[in-house]
Amino acid sequence: MDKFVVNIIHRPEMVPEYAEKVTGHGKAEDIGRKALLTESLDIFKTQQECAHKNGLKTTIQMTYASLFNDEAVALAKEHHEKYGDEIALTLLGLPCTEFREKYKTKDFCIWMFSMEDKMSIVDDVFGKFHERFGFYPESTGSYYMDADLTNYIKSKYPMVKCAVATCWEEGPKAYHTCNNSWYTFMDGGPWAPWIPSKQNTHAPAANEAEDSGIVAIPHLSRDLIACYDGNGSNFGTHPQNVLRGMIYDSKTWDFPYMYNLIDQYRDLEKYNNGYAYNMMFVGPGWMNKMGRWEAPYELLLKSYEDGCAYYGQLKKEGKLTDMTMSEFADYYREKKGVTKGVYTEPECALWRDILYGSEKQLFWYCDPFMRACVNMDQGGAIVDLRPYAAKLEWKTGIGTKHVWDASYPFLIQEKYRAGYFTHYAGEGTVRSAKVCYNGEEVDLCLCRTKAHFSEEPNADGQGKTRILTLDPVDIEFYDLTVKLQTRVIFEEGSSGIKIERNILEMSNPDAEVEINEYIVCCYGTTEYSEDMNGITLCCTGDNETRTITYAYKCREERLADAREVSAVIPPIETKVSLTAQGKDFTGYVKEGYAFSPMLTLGYTTTLRNKEVFATCLKVEKAN
Residues making contact with another protein (CB under 8 A): 22, 25-26, 173, 176-179, 230-231, 244, 246-250, 254, 256-257, 259-260, 263-264, 267, 270, 291-296, 350-357, 359, 361, 450-453
The residue (of 174 and 435) whose beta carbon lies closer to another protein is 174
Query: Of 361 and 615, which CB lies nearer to another protein in the complex structure?
Result: 361
Closest distance between another protein and the C-beta of residue 273, in Å?
17
Element containing residue 51 per DSSP (H, E): helix 34-52
Pick between residue 354 and residue 398 the one whose CB is nearest to another protein: 354
Taking the least distance from each CB to another protein, the nearer of 270 and 316 is 270
Which is nearer to another protein, 79 or 244 (by Cβ)?
244
Read out DSSP for 147-198? HHHHHHHHHH-TT--EEEEE-TT-SHHHHHHTTS----B--S--SS-B-BBS
Q: How far is the CB of 505 from another protein (least distance, A)?
A: 22
CB of 472 to another protein, least distance (A): 14
DSSP 442: E
Instruction: Report whether 457 contacts 470 (CB < 8 A).
Output: no
CB of 277 to another protein, least distance (A): 15
Which is nearer to another protein, 116 or 359 (by Cβ)? 359
Considering the complex, what minimum distance in angstroms separates the CB of residue 230 from another protein? 6
CA distance 411 to 190: 16
Taking the C-alpha atoms of residue 137 and residue 60, their distance in angstroms, rounded to an integer, is: 11
The C-alpha atoms of residue 372 and residue 305 are separated, in whole angstroms, by 35
Interacting residues of 519 by C-beta distance below 8 A, sequence separation 6+: 382, 411, 412, 430, 431, 576, 578, 600, 601, 602, 617
For the CB of residue 357, give the shortest distance to another protein in the complex, in Å: 3
CB 99, min distance to another protein, A: 27
Tell me whether residue 384 is exposed, middle or buried, using C-beta atoms within 10 angstroms of its C-beta: 0 to 12, 13 to 18, 19 or more: buried
In angstroms, what is the minimal distance from the CB of 228 to another protein?
A: 13
As a whole number of angstroms, the distance between CA 168 and CA 164 comes to 11
Residues 404 and 144: their CA atoms lie apart, in Å, by: 11
- Minimum distance of another protein from residue 244's CB (angstroms): 7
Range 350-366 burial, b when 16+ CB lie within 10 A, else e: bbbbbbeeeebbbbbbb
- Helical axes 34-52 vs 297-316, angle rounded to 10°: 30
- Cα 499 to Cα 508: distance, rounded to the nearest angstrom: 25
DSSP states of 296-319? -HHHHHHHHHHHHHHHHHHHHTT-
Q: Residue 273 region, left (φ>0) first, then alpha (ψ -120 to 50), else beta?
A: left
CB nearer to another protein: give 224 or 572. 224
- Of 65 and 350, the one with the shorter C-beta distance to another protein is 350
Closer to another protein by Cβ: residue 297 or 595: 297
- In angstroms, what is the minimal distance from the CB of 503 to another protein? 23
Residue number, 177 or 400, with CB nearest to another protein: 177
